[in-house]
Amino acid sequence: MKKALVTGITGQDGAYLAELLLEKGYEVHGIKRRSSSFNTVRVDHLYQDPHEKDIRFKLHYGDLSDSMNLTRIIQEVQPDEIYNLGAMSHVKVSFETPEYTGNVDGLGTLRILEAVRLLGLTGKTKIYQASTSELYGLVQEVPQNEKTPFYPRSPYGVAKLYAYWITVNYREAYNMFACNGILFNHESPNRGETFVTRKITRAVARISLGMQDCLFLGNLDAKRDWGHAKDYVQAMWLMLQQDQPDDYVIATGVTTSVRELVLMAFFELGIELEFKGTGLEEAGVVVSCSNPKFQVEPGKEVVKIDPEYHRPTEVELLIGDATKCKEQLNWCPKYTLPELVKEMVEADLKLFEKEKYLRDGGHDTLDYNE
Ligand code: NDP
Ligand code: GDR
């Protein structure tokens, strides 16, 4: 039975990847951070009681800033494959925590590579590094492929640049099987609530149900190549099943602006929106609502700009060319963006309908401010 170790297993991708690896018959080990409250909600359905026999899913406490801890876990597990997905992954937050981001996202990768080397596992353990389209940053050419020059635009992007090159360096210097997956944005109903797609789909659901008045956003002009996380974890696994290690772009090849995404998400629930005004005065205004379930009045401003969400330096346009991955790994995304948006909006609507039902019935969820 193959053993995999996944850092960042409690995150969006970690949870989907763990599901995939368990389906494929792996023994899956994950690293979770100690937290003052439960932080394993995305993998709770995979939990197995450690007292039972033949456990194939096990979590270890750890942190990418702690090399002794990482080395011990790798020594204990002796993994055939390591997927390094752990990171401080929010680009805007990285401007506020640049040193921490460099430590975890940059040096954390080095700690994994060096542990594998020092433990004499270079011939056994294959490593996947979660690289990112944020490496491209300032637009040099589109679509972006494996040969496009990098120009990161955030502490997050710069930390990931170090991680990318240290992975290449260990591959070349020590003949390690280490791959970079240069993944473009990928989303799902399990996406963190502060990334723009999920922020939008949550707000669409809440505004429709009368639980929120307005959605505040930053740069509506930014364009992203959005895919589904379920498709992208398949590509991660495929990279480690090849004879030779290499780096691959994973993307859909379609780019969409944040503004267009907002329109798509509202339209999913029958709400037609138009954007009026310019700059900080731009607003998304309801034109009509064809769904009798929702009372959203025409003329209401439901999207406004808050400069707080603008970034000191922005990545304006991402569109990936995944030809290499398609040709060499036979990978192709199954989900289109409209399908992804539909799935996310429906999931959030269900979530907030349940919450509203409980609140309306007087069964408030625990509120620590009360
Ligand atoms: P998430 O933010 O959902 O998950 C990040 C994971 O890393 C969480 O499990 C988090 O733990 C963990 N983590 C954070 N800090 C540390 C630390 N110091 N030590 C150990 N673990 C830590 O990210 P995604 O699942 O979306 O992304 C997975 C990886 O892929 C990340 O490295 C991200 O940068 C990269 N990436 C993501 C893309 C995307 O569009 N989703 C695109 C390209 C790259 P906790 O749950 O406790 O916070
Ligand atoms: P990104 O994702 O920065 O591309 O990084 P995010 O969803 O945060 O932003 C996408 C674009 O939307 C614009 N935007 C806003 N973003 C957020 N979060 N909140 C807002 O209110 C808002 N308004 C506009 C942003 O400026 C940006 O242009 C994600 C992360 O998963 C990284 O870890 C990963 O490496 C990259 O994708 C590929």
Interval 227-236: pLDDT, tens: 999 999 999 9
Instruction: Dig out the tokens for 248 from the structure.
Output: 């691959």
* Radius of gyration of the CA atoms of the chain, in A: 21
* DSSP structure string for 297-328: -TT-EEEEE-GGG--SS---B--B--HHHHHH
Ligand 1 pocket test target in 6, 13, 69, 160 with most atoms within 8 Å of CB: 13
Beta-strand pair 283-289/248-250: unpaired
194 CA to centre of ligand 1 in angstroms: 13
224 CA to centre of ligand 2 in angstroms: 9
Buried b (16+ CB within 10 A) or exposed e, 188-206: bbbbeeebbbbbbbbbbbb
pLDDT in tens, the chain (370 residues): 999 999 999 999 999 999 999 999 999 999 999 999 999 999 999 999 989 888 999 999 999 999 999 999 999 999 999 999 999 999 999 999 999 999 999 999 999 999 999 999 999 999 999 999 999 999 999 999 999 999 999 999 999 999 999 999 999 999 999 999 999 999 999 999 999 999 999 999 999 999 999 999 999 999 999 999 999 999 999 999 999 999 999 999 999 999 999 999 999 999 999 999 999 999 999 999 999 999 899 999 999 999 999 999 999 999 999 999 999 999 999 999 999 999 999 999 999 999 999 999 998 765 554 4
**Rounded mean pLDDT of the chain?**
97
Residue of the nearest CA to atom 34 in ligand 1? Answer: 89
pLDDT of residue 50: 86
pLDDT of residue 370: 45
Within a 10 A sphere around the Cβ of 355, how many other Cβ atoms?
17
Helix (H) or strand (E) holding 4: strand 3-7
* DSSP structure string for 243-282: SS---EEE--S--EEHHHHHHHHHHHTTEEEEEES-GGG-
Rounded Cα distance, 332 and 55, in Å: 32
Residue 13's contacts (CB-CB under 8 Å, 6 or more residues apart) are: 85, 130, 186, 229, 232, 233, 236
pLDDT of residue 197: 98
pLDDT of residue 69: 98
pLDDT of residue 98: 98
132 labelled catalytic: yes
pTM given for the model = 0.97
CB 67 within 8 A of CB 111: yes
ipTM of the complex: 0.99
Rounded Cα distance, 168 and 177, in Å: 10
Residue of the nearest CA to atom 37 in ligand 2? Answer: 185
134 labelled catalytic: yes
* Sheet strands side by side (includes 283-289): 215-217, 301-305, 283-289, 271-276
CB of 194 closer than 6 angstroms to any ligand 2 atom: yes
190 CA to centre of ligand 1 in angstroms: 12
85 CA to centre of ligand 1 in angstroms: 6
Residue 172's contacts (CB-CB under 8 Å, 6 or more residues apart) are: none
Residue 368's contacts (CB-CB under 8 Å, 6 or more residues apart) are: none
Residue of the nearest CA to atom 21 in ligand 2? Answer: 217
298 CA to centre of ligand 1 in angstroms: 39
Rounded Cα distance, 10 and 343, in Å: 21
66 CA to centre of ligand 1 in angstroms: 16
Instruction: Dig out the tokens for 245 from the structure.
Output: 């290690």
CB 113 within 8 A of CB 34: no
CB of 85 closer than 6 angstroms to any ligand 1 atom: yes
Residue 132: strand pairing partners: 183
CB 224 within 8 A of CB 255: yes
Instruction: Please name the amino acid found at residue 330.
Output: N
CB of 66 closer than 6 angstroms to any ligand 1 atom: no
Q: pLDDT (tens digit, 9 = 90+) per residue, 327-359?
A: 999 999 999 999 999 999 999 999 999 999 999
pLDDT of residue 367: 56
Ligand 2 pocket test target in 138, 193, 195 with most atoms within 8 Å of CB: 195
- The SS3 of residue 58 is strand
CB of 224 closer than 6 angstroms to any ligand 2 atom: yes
Q: Which ligand is nearest to the CA of 183?
A: 1
Number of helices and strands (H, E) in the chain? 11, 15
Rounded Cα distance, 217 and 196, in Å: 8
Place of tokens 């401007």: 95
CB of 181 closer than 6 angstroms to any ligand 1 atom: no
Residue 131: strand pairing partners: 182
* Overall residue count recorded for the chain in this entry: 370
136 labelled catalytic: no
CB 99 within 8 A of CB 55: no
CB of 130 closer than 6 angstroms to any ligand 1 atom: yes
| 318: nearest Cα among 260, 261, 254 | 254
Residue 156's contacts (CB-CB under 8 Å, 6 or more residues apart) are: 88, 89, 90, 91, 94, 101, 105, 134
Ligand 2 pocket test target in 88, 89, 91 with most atoms within 8 Å of CB: 91
Instruction: Dig out the tokens for 304 from the structure.
Output: 């406004």
